Amino acid sequence: MPQAETTRRWQRPEKREFQGEHVVVARLEPDAVIDDLYALSHGSAEVERLWTYMPYGPFADRAAMHGWLTSIRESQDPLFYTVASRAHQRTVGMLSFLNIVPEMGRAELGHIWYSPIAQRTRVNTEATFLLLRHLFDELKYRRVEWKCDNRNEASKRAALRMGFQYEGLFRKHMIVKEQNRDTAWFAIVEDDWPAIRANFETYLAEAELSLTELNRGRLPGG
């Protein structure tokens, strides 16, 4: 890679809206989304399991969740977004850019959670794709990371499904909700992105395809 590409400073991700066929990813506006987010993430033990591996939640009541959303609204890192499903016409989850290091062209996608009504749909796939496309295609980042509790099998499967490569386990990395967290690390680098982008585009255009199989077939070692 030319030296100019490794010495410049990259821009930070933008505070903007990302429009997809299945989702709209928008900057967090607590007053606009609290009713949807609270109703779709609370009310039963089954629904509230989505908070198991998050450092916050479930919340005592709507006001408590609204207070938390308000407290993170102006955060620059993590930079929080909400995800609305076009099919459901509701806000169904959240995600963020975090650990943003512009001088290295590196960032992470995290704080990802969705209501059960959006799970096993194209919501997470397209929302992740829109943010990856912004980082790699528009900002020309070199590396995007995905990290999760090693016990979170669903998150690990999602990372691999979307083309992130497993890079290792950080043992006793954090304490979350008074429990040890061993953190699994995944990443996509710019060299891998063209094939992964093509797989996302193919998958999102054709209903019967498997993104897991597409990425398994086109990535090095797949």
Number of H helices and E strands in the chain, helices first, is 8, 8
What number of CA atoms fall less than 13 Å from residue 191's CA on the CB side?
5
What number of CA atoms fall less than 13 Å from residue 110's CA on the CB side?
21
Q: Indicate the CATH number of 4-218 among 3.90.420.10, 3.40.50.9100, 3.30.420.40, 3.40.630.30.
A: 3.40.630.30
What confidence score (pLDDT) does residue 217 get? 59
What confidence score (pLDDT) does residue 221 get? 35
- CA torsion 77-82-14-5 (nearest 10°) is 70
Ranges of each domain in the chain: 4-218
What confidence score (pLDDT) does residue 3 get? 43
- Asked if residues 176 and 215 have their Cβ atoms less than 8 Å apart, the reply is no
C-alpha to C-alpha distance for 169 and 177, rounded to whole angstroms? 20
What confidence score (pLDDT) does residue 196 get? 97
Task: Give average pLDDT by consecutive 10-residue segment, the chain, 222 residues.
Answer: 60 94 97 98 96 97 98 97 97 98 97 93 95 98 98 96 96 90 97 96 79 63 34
What confidence score (pLDDT) does residue 55 get? 96
What confidence score (pLDDT) does residue 209 get? 63
What confidence score (pLDDT) does residue 1 get? 43
